[in-house]
Structure 1
């Protein structure tokens, strides 16, 4: 019998209707024995997430503003789910106790109650025991996980219960205080459980059917990604193409546990499986592509630079002193370009340029802003000669000017920089070259 840790996001538990979908999914597979839930999310576009309301509640508390209306909204959401499902769990008493003790609660404790109350209701609805994350997850003062303490507590709970419902997003510090992860931390909780339990699969149920090969706002009906490796996911996520909290990947990856992204509203869809290696044949030469704007290049030229030891290091040390992260460093014999985020140098660009000139006395220094970076990712690209050539040729035919090229040393990522106005068109051109053409060729056979 396989062991699956199954996590449901906020959209999956937003209402009694969504609770019913969760129950159908859990009961459809006896391997889904351990369920992690987020706080209820939006039921419709103008609705509020419970976690947002809890942060608002805490803000009212801190500034001594009447919070009764905000608390009423939170209370009504949970009671609506309870009543519509005919549940008996007396959360009214706990909600009222929370309201009475609000001024003595920390922000972390207040915002954690969304997951807590949701898990209490879900546990009764599924007929599973409720296990409080505060009794299991131990968090160090630096917000890292105390793995030894957490492992010992979770193993004890597993010995007691063959299945349970567990709230995501929070745990307890060594001094007995509730601590929360960053937003989306329910994904992290599920990954922690999957790691310690040595699960066969970590299922992450959300409101999308996994990853797509490109942004659907740019490419019409992009193909789904059914299988992706952790390294490919990391490359795409860096450019913003993610439906999973970044910190949720590492605990699962450490034990080589596949993560399966699935859609609560369309459980029949294949979703996306993320794992260390995948032998599933790839349909296309690339796995996916993603891009984002907001970058700037600093070009530095110095005659006979290659003969000067430490020249590049001196430039990079200037950027380090200004806390600027380096995105890419394309280089030549006597020149190199540093790609940085515009937002990170917005208040210090002139000081940085002045300091670079003072430190290394370049013959030329140029700045180009409004650059977008587009990453084309695929583990099979290195085995297919001519992939980079096809990409550059396609962009050339469309008269898209490339201002920067960088290729990953593992050859799973080709990143190009273009003018921001060409971001969408660049993604379309690359997608059409490697995906649309492949589909057209199959259709012609």
Structure 2
């Protein structure tokens, strides 16, 4: 049995949904279909989720909700008309949005979570209706029906461990396909809560583990995960296989094909993931699997750059001798509800790498003031043009001169890293570089990886001939 998840671009129009339905029905093992909200139809278009955010704004502000409601519904009308589905379902969806606007919510955050989830909820309803209209044995099944519950913040929810046992007990009817909305579930009080990022990916991963499927297929608009962003390097190398660890490192650092949090449930269950293209379903795609099942022929699997960080640099003599210095610093961050990503340090220096999304101007000023008052560093600087370059590969540690070669490649490109850090897992090297040089740094390391890949391939061929 397989879980099949489709992203927003795969469901943006009637013709795209038709492709998705054909993919699901082409394989009898594809029994669980997870859908996102309709995405952009073309460049400059607006995602349904963004329109729902505008609708939530109107509800909070007490302004007229009809214009944006009709704009949202028009997306579903176009899809329904393409398949000749009776418009009764659109009337039901219109009443549903009206009911949502009239409800009371515990907090504004819960209100926004509830509205943001409706793109997936309404799309799953419509997709199930379309499939039934085509005499396909399909039905809508919501997260509550499956027994999925969540904890945490309304827009940063975490699935509860006991959800998996309830999913496993769910009865699938013979030869039926269930259509499940991604991105959200309900907390113990019955309130809608959404996953923080990559929401539908997370739902698909949860269901893959709960149903203990053989494969989780994640359909998007690319045929593979690539070694670098195709917007930076034209026609980059496609990655045939990735380990779980490599995918998490690369996704965390900027790869947008699969979310780093989404893969955790399948890691826990040891289930493989296949990233595939809705527009080219016969393409092999990229498999993500346990390390023991992956045999790489290259030491650098992928290179990614993430500009969503700032650096907080502190200099004070004898930091290394001051017991509790780091604890005191982290207590200040905790006061402002800010976490750090990395903390490279020396005997007199320490840098905190922080996600920009956590820092408002007020928080930044408050952290700065508290550190100066309570820690009194000799120097404090914020680096707002900071980018993290992540070089990932299961074979990194096996090549003694690889870091040296990376540094030479960057030097040849005129790039001087401001931070160097190799992860404890030894499958990643993290470099801090100026944000404006991030793309150049990616290109330099990618070119090195291609050269190195060719050398390794040639050496392997020579070894085979000797054997």
Bin the TM-score by the shorter chain: 0.7 to 0.9
TM-score normalised over the length of structure 2: 0.83
Q: How far did residue 130 of structure 1 move?
A: 0.9
Query: 1:251 pairs with 265, 270, 291, which one?
Result: 265
Q: Quick one: structure 1 residues 116 and 65, their matched pair in 2 at CA, closer, same or farther if it must change by over 3 Å? A: farther
Give the structure 2 partner of residue 129 of structure 1: 138
- Correspondence 1:76 to 2:74: yes
- Correspondence 1:214 to 2:224: no
Extract unaligned runs of 5+ from structure 2: 105-110, 462-467
Deviations 1:197-250, CA, capped at 9 Å, x for gaps: 101111111112232211222222221222112221222222221222443211
Native 8 Å contact 2:151 2:159 kept in 1: no
Indicate the SS of the match to 2:450: helix
Extract unaligned runs of 5+ from structure 1: none
Q: Quick one: structure 1 residues 345 and 431, their matched pair in 2 at CA, closer, same or farther if it must change by over 3 Å? A: same
Give the structure 2 partner of residue 204 of structure 1: 218
Query: 1:290 pairs with 284, 296, 304, which one?
Result: 304
Query: 2:284 pairs with 270, 273, 281, which one?
Result: 270
Q: How far did residue 156 of structure 1 move?
A: 3.1
Indicate the SS of the match to 2:170: helix
Q: How far did residue 356 of structure 1 move?
A: 4.4
| CA distance in structure 2 between the partners assigned to 1:254 and 1:319 by the alignment | 31
Query: 1:120 pairs with 128, 140, 146, which one?
Result: 128
Of residues 382-391 and 177-186 in structure 1, the stretch that sits farther from structure 2 once superposed is 177-186
| CA distance in structure 2 between the partners assigned to 1:169 and 1:395 by the alignment | 40
| CA distance in structure 2 between the partners assigned to 1:75 and 1:317 by the alignment | 47
Deviations 1:302-358, CA, capped at 9 Å, x for gaps: 15x544433444444444444443333333344444444567385466665565455
Native 8 Å contact 1:291 1:373 kept in 2: yes
| CA distance in structure 1 between the partners assigned to 2:67 and 2:327 by the alignment | 57
Q: Quick one: structure 1 residues 336 and 63, their matched pair in 2 at CA, closer, same or farther if it must change by over 3 Å? A: closer
The 5 A counterparts of 1:153-172 are 155-158=169-172, 162-172=176-186
| CA distance in structure 2 between the partners assigned to 1:167 and 1:349 by the alignment | 38
Give the structure 2 partner of residue 392 of structure 1: 407
Indicate the SS of the match to 1:285: coil
Native 8 Å contact 2:93 2:122 kept in 1: no
Q: How far did residue 122 of structure 1 move?
A: 4.3
TM-score normalised over the length of structure 1: 0.87
Q: How far did residue 24 of structure 1 move?
A: 2.3
Q: How far did residue 407 of structure 1 move?
A: 0.8
| CA distance in structure 1 between the partners assigned to 2:58 and 2:360 by the alignment | 35
Of residues 151-160 and 428-437 in structure 1, the stretch that sits farther from structure 2 once superposed is 151-160
Q: How far did residue 285 of structure 1 move?
A: 1.7
Indicate the SS of the match to 1:248: coil
The 5 A counterparts of 1:327-338 are 327-338=341-352
| CA distance in structure 1 between the partners assigned to 2:324 and 2:188 by the alignment | 45
Indicate the SS of the match to 1:52: helix
- Correspondence 1:433 to 2:443: no
| CA distance in structure 2 between the partners assigned to 1:55 and 1:131 by the alignment | 24
| CA distance in structure 1 between the partners assigned to 2:369 and 2:311 by the alignment | 17
| CA distance in structure 2 between the partners assigned to 1:410 and 1:418 by the alignment | 22
Of residues 287-296 and 423-432 in structure 1, the stretch that sits farther from structure 2 once superposed is 287-296
Native 8 Å contact 1:211 1:242 kept in 2: no
Native 8 Å contact 1:123 1:164 kept in 2: no
Q: Quick one: structure 1 residues 63 and 374, their matched pair in 2 at CA, closer, same or farther if it must change by over 3 Å? A: same
Give the structure 2 partner of residue 19 of structure 1: 17
Indicate the SS of the match to 1:217: coil
Q: Quick one: structure 1 residues 208 and 122, their matched pair in 2 at CA, closer, same or farther if it must change by over 3 Å? A: farther
Q: How far did residue 9 of structure 1 move?
A: 1.4
Native 8 Å contact 1:136 1:150 kept in 2: no
Q: How far did residue 54 of structure 1 move?
A: 3.0
Q: How far did residue 67 of structure 1 move?
A: 3.0
Native 8 Å contact 2:54 2:68 kept in 1: yes
Native 8 Å contact 1:26 1:32 kept in 2: yes
Give the structure 2 partner of residue 7 of structure 1: 5
Indicate the SS of the match to 2:185: strand
Q: Quick one: structure 1 residues 392 and 25, their matched pair in 2 at CA, closer, same or farther if it must change by over 3 Å? A: same
Native 8 Å contact 2:242 2:294 kept in 1: no
| CA distance in structure 2 between the partners assigned to 1:118 and 1:64 by the alignment | 29
Native 8 Å contact 1:37 1:118 kept in 2: no
| CA distance in structure 2 between the partners assigned to 1:315 and 1:421 by the alignment | 29
